[in-house]
Amino acid sequence: MKMTLIETVLFSLATGSYGWAHGIHEFRPPLPGDSRSPCPGLNALSNHGWLPRSGKDIDLPAFQSAIAGAYNYEPTSMDGFFQLALNFNLSTTGNQSTFNLFDLARHDEIEFDGSLSRNDIYFGDNVHFDHTIWATVAKNLGLYDTLGSEMNQYVTVESAAKACAARAADAKRVNPSFNSSVMQVMGNPGTTALYLVTLWDENAGAAPKSWVRALFEEERIPYLEGYKVPKVPRTMDDVNKMTNRMSAVEVKV
Ligand code: HEM
Ligand SMILES: *[C@@H]1O[C@H](CO)[C@@H](O)[C@H](O)[C@H]1NC(C)=O
Ligand SMILES: *[C@@H]1O[C@H](CO)[C@@H](O)[C@H](O)[C@H]1NC(C)=O
Ligand SMILES: *[C@@H]1O[C@H](CO)[C@@H](O)[C@H](O)[C@H]1NC(C)=O
């Protein structure tokens, strides 16, 4: 079958939208030499080609269209984060308008202690997914316990807030150089709010556990598990509101 460009685009939209393939944005794990970050949200964008698959030389226009295309964030809603990476002089690309994903890992700039799925720099690696760290967080989120009620399929604001607080408390206990920096104090609940808002299921009022697993464990956008780009664009206002909802949860650690 020979198709014009527009037919090809329409065809791939119609056939690939909700599957593993998702058109030209199929999931492909990084190759050796590709650049990845401590951020599962950005790594997933590169693993699906919304950002360059190399994870390198990311500029603002590419960044804006990636967060909008994949997650339907307002294109400019995260410009502040992008600018932060440049302002901290994290870029190693040789071009002060771009960065590589790995550049974001420099400790005590944007990266901080007590992450959900990474260990602290004190223990050697703050970038890669850490099975041991995640096992405890996943258990607290009940990620592998999905039997029973419909609501048991979801991570709620309450369970997410508690798992986040428990991880930070564990990290403080075991890491003698734990830094309760401003970034850590704000970023810890902030990144939990980010994954909740990004993976939010409007009908359930919670985030499906299978989507949370895909994002953290495979750095994959959960198209296979039914994720669809939300219809209404999301903003940092949504993320801030989510952080406020989290802080209303009583946590015992
Ligand atoms: C597009 C939506 C985004 C989502 C869904 C997302 C999600 C997340 C999540 C869930 C974490 C916590 C990982 C963990 O605790 O193990 C995280 C961490 C991080 N994110 Fe993102 N993120 C997004 C955008 C961004 C942006 C725009 C930047 C900067 C340009 C960024 C940089 C980072 C960094 C440096 C960390 C590591 C912080 C730490 O030490 O835990 N992220 N992100
Ligand atoms: C980044 O580099 C610029 C130019 O060299 C400098 O003016 C600025 O103070 C640096 N910022 C930080 C946070 O080090
Ligand atoms: C640096 O990157 C920006 C954004 O992609 C681009 O417009 C500019 O031409 C680049 N500068 C150089 C010197 O390559
Ligand atoms: C904690 O992080 C801040 C940056 O947010 C840094 O200025 C400070 O030196 C760090 N403290 C320690 C003890 O490393």
- Residue % of the chain over a pLDDT of 70: 92
Rounded (10°) CA dihedral 52, 53, 56, 62 = 20
Does a structural domain hold residue 51?
Answer: yes
pTM score of the predicted model:
0.93
Question: Where in the sequence is the domain holding 127, given as residue range(s)?
Answer: 5-247
Instruction: Give me ligand 2 centre to Cα 89, in Å.
Output: 6
Instruction: Give me ligand 1 centre to Cα 173, in Å.
Output: 23
The domain spanning residue 94 has which CATH number? 1.10.489.10
Distance CA 51, CA 54 (A): 8
> Residue 110 has which token pair?
């944007």
Does a structural domain hold residue 252?
Answer: no
Does a structural domain hold residue 253?
Answer: no
Q: Determine the 3-state secondary structure of 190 from DSSP.
A: helix
In contact, 91 and 83? CB cutoff 8 Å: no
Residue 115 CB-density burial (10 A; 0-12 exposed, 13-18 middle, 19+ buried) = buried
Does a structural domain hold residue 128?
Answer: yes
Does a structural domain hold residue 129?
Answer: yes
Does a structural domain hold residue 44?
Answer: yes
Number of domains in the chain: 1
CA 164 to chain centre: 14
Instruction: Give me ligand 4 centre to Cα 224, in Å.
Output: 41
Atom 10 (ligand 2) nearest CA: 89
Question: Bridge partners of 99?
Answer: 58
pLDDT tens digits for range 184-224: 999 999 999 999 999 999 999 999 999 999 999 999 999 99
What is the model's pLDDT at position 17?
Answer: 44
91 lines ligand 3 (CB under 6 A): no
Cα 235 to Cα 54, 78, 192, 240, distances in angstroms = 27, 8, 15, 9
Instruction: Give me ligand 1 centre to Cα 22, in Å.
Output: 23
Ligand nearest to the CA of 57: 3
Q: Which atom of ligand 2 is nearest to the CA of 88?
A: 13
